[in-house]
Structure 1
Amino acid sequence: MVLELHVWGPAFSLPSIDPKCLAAIAYFSQAVPKDAWVLVASSDPSVSPTNELPALKNGPTWVSQFRNIVDYLRQYSDGAWDLDSNLNALETADNTAFSSFLESRAQPLIDLSLYVSSQNYWQCTSPAYGDLLQWPNQWLLPPRIHSAAKARTAHLGLSALDLDAMEDQRKRDHSAAVAAGKIPANFIQRPRDTVSKLLGRTSHQSQFRLEALTGELFEPLEAMLGGKDYLVTADRPTSLDCLATGYLALALVPELTFPWLRDAMKSKAHSLTAYTQRMRHKCYGTAAVKVADAYPSLSPSPSPSHLPWQTPERARLATVGYTLINSLADNTPILSSIRAQNRLRQAVESSKADLSDVEREALAKHATGMKKDVLVSVAAAVGGVVALLGYMVQTGFFSHEGEEEYEEEEEEYEEEPLEIEVGEAPDAFGVMGL
């Protein structure tokens, strides 16, 4: 049976816009025979039961996340498709440790570069998603991914990269100043700043922080690479090399409006830069990947590709409706909390979750706390509505005031009985002079 690897589609001349999808593609290209798998740019997390990409489909079986996919391939092939099979104990430890290090250090930088940096997001990343997604996902998924990336990097204190947030804050400060009478209301606002001007004028601390973050990622990897062709071994790639290729390719290859991450990589890690280019060509081919390459059956003259692309199925009406309903539920205050609590509980109870007893207990308590918060919110909302209705009844808001006034007006305008005073009739005889 042919394995199906479902991923986010091509962008920036790479076969995927997501680093973990790129890592999974790199692993398949190096470990799995080309006739044993196909690459599907579904670009829709809902195709997977876990609602995430990359996802491997083998008949009725679905496996998601890079590390889980690597483990599944090792078990499925009895070790034949395991790039880490020949590592000794020390190399295995380095492979595991640096994989965790890479994900924890590289993901925030990718988020900052492609999503938090406003110029890069609106001019490069958002249009790339527009080319990949079908309706209605092209309107629903990018804002969700954008918000998630900003939330993941909020603790880094680099909001200066987010010009939208900076502009909104400046407008709020301006409005507050006008309201306080500090400046005239007709004060002419300055035009929006560019990232370079903003960082150059007010954000030296942000520049130093970016320098530190990029150094924490590139310098240890540069030292680990040394003069070798690969990170762990000298003669063959491992799962760490595939994971590094996914993240580092998204740092180096995209042509962005504000390429601060690529510039930092080129200036701080010359060997790592050459290694990334070499691994990119080895895993994805030397030709730039286009969006049309992911849909060979829809192209009149598809060009030969280094990767075994298979055209994804068209979205069915039921799938579109399911997506719309889920989006509506996730944006409804109470329903979104309930769904988040359910997803967390399912993740904790899952047998595939690699969690200790302490972690399971802590997450279970957190899920219970979320449920209590939801119930309190529902009770508060119901109580508020009941109190409002009670107040309206007490004040006579629902009384028949209109009918009473109408009845009073009817009584006022009711016709009174007509009284006619009949005078004494003239003396006919007197008139006649009788």
Structure 2
Amino acid sequence: MSETSKINLHVWPGRWDLPSVEPACLASILFLELALPGNFDIIECANPDLSPSGQLPFLTHEQRTVATLPSIMRYVAQLKSATGEKRHDPDHAIDADLTAVERARNLAWQAHLELNMGDLVAHMMYSLEANWVKLTHPTLAGFLPVPQKYYVPARLRDSYRARLEAVGLWNLPGIEQEPKKPFEAPVKQTKESDPKEKYLRVFERAKVEEKARSSFDVYSRLLGKNDFFYPYRPTSIDLTLAAHVLLLTKPEFPDPLLQTLIRESYPTLVNHAEHVYRFVFPTGISKLNRTSMPGYSIRSLVPISATNSSHVAKEVDPEDVRFARMRWTWIAVAVGGVAYWFWEKRGLILQAVAIAQEQQRAAEAAVDGEGDMTEEEDEEVALGLDDDT
């Protein structure tokens, strides 16, 4: 593959000795490193709004943009060589040696993994309060500039909340502490000492562990005692599972609920993930070609279509251009209208300010006049009050 046609993979940045902190991003890096070693660049990005799907990862190649992990794998597997012939060698499409039935089974298991294991990783990172406050939120905020670091992590957490609530992996109401307001005195917590609350917390954690066991059992039985799901080399299902397991075991979670479970009860899954990682990166990830791009800017606060971004090369729809012009026209008219209103009303505003200042001076003069009365005037006022009485 020539330099001009090199693939750019946009992913969340890495931490914890991993090239990315998000499962689908990590799986896509493992896949491309195995399928196209040295022929792709990793663009560390903290702005999922640049992606057509609104989520990372996404891939750009020449004039094409491909989002979501399955689509990226499918696109790379179908890349054409310079002669126009489709390549089906194992180094280019890692599932090429599989039969049609095995590839279909792999696709189904991959969807199963992204759904179930994705929920478990999201629960550890976004649902458990201790992990969110002490690990996930600081990590995400570290990728972002001001002011986005103050609101984007919370927006990402909210995007996972509905998904986790639907499968019973979000904290119960009353267990999750409300965020303390600035300068507010700490409130003494009494729920921790309530036996009912303690039982509810233990029951909720046991329910999460049981749900995790049901998924871990399936993948452990499917893997058996083999190094990979298929002989000799990892396939897409190995990479997807390894990416999720690595993000359950590598970070130093303050609340290691599922981390402890998988390490102690499912060592085959942990060993499989580490084996896949060493297979893909035998000398580590230092040789990966990684560059960072600004995830946000002050300009990003204005609603501009992602098609106008120079970071994403894709065709511009004329309809999008028309709507963009209409949007900017509306913004210009609104700003001009507000400026004209202030210009027309400036006299009334200045007059109101002058009246207020005059009234304030009159009130101060009246107070000063009352304080300057002589003793005789004070006696006359006092006598007048007595006469009235």
| TM-score tier (shorter) | 0.5 to 0.7
**How large is the Cα RMSD of the aligned pairs?**
2.8
SS in 2 for 1:166: coil
Paired residues, number: 285
User: For 2:176, which of 149, 152, 166 is the aligned residue?
Assistant: 166
Amino acid aligned to 1:12: W
Equivalent residue in structure 2 for 1:212, among 210, 213, 223: 210
The partner residue of 2:25 within 21, 31, 39 is 21
> For residues 253-287 of structure 1, what are the alpha-carbon distances to aligned partners after superposition, in whole Å with 9 as ceiling and x for unaligned?
11100111111112331211111112223335565
Check if 1:324 corresponds to 2:304: no
Match of 1:224 among 222, 225, 230: 222
1:3–1:38 Cα contact (<8 Å) kept: yes
Taking the TM superposition and a 5 Å limit, the aligned residue runs for 1:13-412 are 13-34=17-38, 36-77=39-80, 78=86, 79-80=88-89, 81-160=92-171, 166-168=176-178, 189-190=188-189, 193=192, 200-231=198-229, 233-284=230-281, 305-309=286-290, 311-314=291-294, 320-326=297-303
Identity across matched positions, percent: 24
Q: What's the offset of the Cα at 1:151? A: 1.6
Q: Post-superposition shift, 1:9?
A: 0.3
Q: Which amino acid aligns with 2:258?
A: L
Q: Secondary structure at the match of 1:167?
A: coil
Report the Cα distance in structure 2 between the residues aligned to 1:320 and 1:39, rounded to whole angstroms.
21
Determine the C-alpha separation between the residues in 2 that align with 1:41 and 1:230.
Answer: 29
Contact 1:136/1:324 (<8 A) preserved: no
C-alpha change, 1:222 and 1:162, in structure 2 (3 Å) is: farther
Gaps of 5+ in 2: 81-85, 180-186, 306-389
Distance, in Å, in 2 between the alignment partners of 1:191 and 1:130 is: 31
Amino acid at match of 1:53: L
Moved over 6 A (4+): none
For residues 214 and 144 of structure 2, the distance between their equivalents in structure 1, rounded to whole angstroms, comes to 34
Alpha-carbon separation, structure 1, partners of 2:63 and 2:197: 51
**CA deviation digits over 1:79-135, x for unaligned, max 9?**
342111111244223312211211121111111100110100110011111222223
SS in 2 for 1:153: helix
Work out the CA distance in 1 between the residues paired with 2:238 and 2:197: 34
- Partner SS for 2:232: coil
- Residue 38 of structure 1: CA displacement? 0.8
The secondary structure found in structure 2 opposite 1:84 is: coil
What does residue 372 of structure 1 align with? none
Shift of 1:31: 0.8
Larger Rg: 1
Q: Deviations over 1:219-240 (max 9, x none)?
A: 1111111121112x12111111
1:48–1:210 Cα change, 3 Å: closer
Aligned amino acid, residue 148 of structure 2: N
2:130 partner letter: Q
Whether the 8 Å CA contact 2:49–2:55 is kept in 1: the answer is yes
* Separation in structure 1 between the aligned mates of residue 122 and residue 259 of structure 2, nearest angstrom: 14
2:250 maps to a residue whose letter is V
Using a 3 Å threshold, how does the CA distance of structure 1 residues 228 and 240 change in structure 2: closer, same or farther? same
The CA distance in 2 between the partners of 1:132 and 1:250, in whole Å, is 18
Q: Normalization by structure 1: what TM-score?
A: 0.60
SS at match of 2:292: coil
Distance 1:61 1:193 in 2: 54
Deviation for aligned residue 1:242: 1.3
Q: Contact 1:199/1:206 (CA < 8 Å) preserved in 2?
A: no
Q: Aligned partners of 1:134, 1:91: CA distance in 2, in Å?
A: 45
Paired letter, 2:202 = H
Question: Could you give the per-residue CA deviations for residues 131-175 of structure 1, whole angstroms, max 9, x where no partner exists?
Answer: 222233322321111111222111233444787x63349xxxxxx
1:10 corresponds to? 14
Question: Is 2:45–2:294's contact at 8 Å kept on the other side of the alignment?
Answer: no
Contact 1:113–1:261 (8 Å) recurs in 2: yes
> Using the alignment, how far apart are the partners of 1:150 and 1:129 within structure 2?
17
Counterpart-to-counterpart distance in 1, 2:119 and 2:99: 31
C-alpha contact (below 8 Å) 2:7/2:59 kept by paired residues: yes
Distance 1:189 1:321 in 2: 40
Contact 1:7/1:41, CA 8 A, preserved across alignment = yes
For residue 135 of structure 1, give the secondary structure of its aligned residue in structure 2: coil
Distance 2:197 2:31 in 1: 38
User: Does structure 2 retain, via aligned residues, the 8 Å contact 1:63–1:69?
Assistant: yes
In structure 1, runs of 5+ residues without a counterpart are 170-187, 290-304, 330-434
TM-score (norm 2): 0.67
Q: 1:63 to 1:26 in 2, by over 3 A?
A: same
